[in-house]
Amino acid sequence: MGIYDRNYFQGSSGGWGSGPSGWPPVIKSIVLINIGVFIAQLMITRPPTIEEVRDNSYGIEKEYDFVEAYIEDLQSGDEVRSDAAELRREAELAYHEYLADMVIASPRVSVIQSWLQLDTEKVMKGQIWRILTSAFCHDRHGLFHILFNMLGLIWFGIALEYMYGQREFLLFYLTAAILSGLAYVGLDLWSGESVPAIGASGAVMGVLMLYTCHYPNHTIRIWFLFPIEMRWLVLLYVAFDLHPLLLQLAGDQVQTGVAHVAHLGGLAFGFIYWNQRLRLAPILDSVQKLDLANLLRRKMNSNVKLHSPDPGNGRMRASATDDTGSLDQDRVDELLIKITEVGRDNLTEEELGILRQASERLRQKKK
């Protein structure tokens, strides 16, 4: 337990400048990575394809609607044309020219963002890394998205990194990002929609909630003017994000440009982490030890030698001694491994007798 966990420290302000001077390394690294990715989003781009413009832009008319409307306009003139086939070809040519103009007018596509953004359809096809990598992308057409996310991480994360330590805080942040991404994917699957999402907001919301749980009475100033305690700020965020989510769950089409369910996923994880006193580093260590144990077991199993069948009765040789009466160590090792896998109670009397014989010989050697 660190000093920030003590009851007498809970009324402290925390936040910017708390703990030792300077930025802690995890927050510094996260901020620098986000800035680096943002610059790459700006610089590494390509023109959009016609398919991307047609599929992703709501202002683009579908070909059938465009062609029919174009033909109707032509036929409404003073001279009604009877050459229907030629008329349709002319309308289709006009549609493709219209698409080409829209490609020129459309913004360029960020190659980095197309690789990293959270796209539910692509996640369901196996590109699961997007659930995490989307938390390191931001809207390249403005600065406020990345600015507010990084400021929130710095303001509220510094005290938490000093409190929990570098490794634990990093695991918390990445887990918050993953769970908020999974919440977004879940809502997409529920609603049948698939609008790509980017941003660290879900992970930062997890940081905001955990900070608020430790410092609920800490007061900040919105736009440096309006004072508000952290607990009321978080409550406002919950209300702001929950309202459109409930509308979506009820079947309404909600297009706010904000991943509200990702925010709520991060907030929920931050609260559960604090309320249940979770620690992710020991869990990760346990998983790693479990994998090592399985690896060692597989290695041991691969070294077990199979005995050739007894030509006399066609069964595997079960004796622990060879023809000279010496101990067959391979057979004993095989039975010891079997105990670790199925338990001693599942051994036959013959196998138990082999182990008793081996144990007796071992005692005699010690004497």
* Residue 153 and residue 242 in one domain: yes
Nearby residues of 334 by Cβ (< 8 Å), 6 or more positions away: 304, 305
| Structural domain containing residue 35 | 3-43+140-278
* HEC assignment per residue over 185-223: HHHHHHHCCCCCECCCHHHHHHHHHHHHHHCCCCEEEEC
Residue 7 host element (H or E): none
* Residue 28 and residue 167 in one domain: yes
121, part of any domain: no
Whose CA is closest to 88, among 108, 74, 67? 67
Q: How far apart are CA 328 and CA 354, in angstroms?
A: 10
Q: How far apart are CA 198 and CA 41, in angstroms?
A: 12
Q: What is the pLDDT of residue 112?
A: 95
pLDDT, tens digit (0-9, with 9 covering 90-100), for 41-51: 999 999 887 77
> DSSP class of residue 251?
T
Q: What is the pLDDT of residue 106?
A: 75
Q: How far apart are CA 127 and CA 198, in angstroms?
A: 15
Q: What is the pLDDT of residue 295?
A: 59
211, part of any domain: yes
Question: Which residues does the chain have with pLDDT short of 50?
Answer: 1-13, 16-18, 58, 304-326
* Residue 356 and residue 219 in one domain: no
**Neighbouring C-beta atoms of residue 115, cutoff 10 Å:** 14
Q: What is the pLDDT of residue 298?
A: 63
* Residue 213 and residue 266 in one domain: yes
**Neighbouring C-beta atoms of residue 357, cutoff 10 Å:** 15
Q: What is the pLDDT of residue 367?
A: 56
- Find residue 95's DSSP bridge partners: none
Whose CA is closest to 54, among 41, 66, 69, 68? 66
Residues 164 and 172: beta-carbon distance below 8 Å: yes
pTM above 0.85, yes or no: no
Q: What is the pLDDT of residue 274?
A: 96
Q: How far apart are CA 342 and CA 293, in angstroms?
A: 16
* Residue 161 and residue 101 in one domain: no
290, part of any domain: no
Q: What is the pLDDT of residue 321?
A: 47
* Residue 157 and residue 239 in one domain: yes
Number of structural domains, the chain?
A: 3
Domain boundary among 261, 278, 295: 278
148, part of any domain: yes
* Residue 39 and residue 60 in one domain: no
Instruction: From residue 109, give the alpha-carbon distance in Å to each of 82, 119, 120.
Output: 43, 15, 19
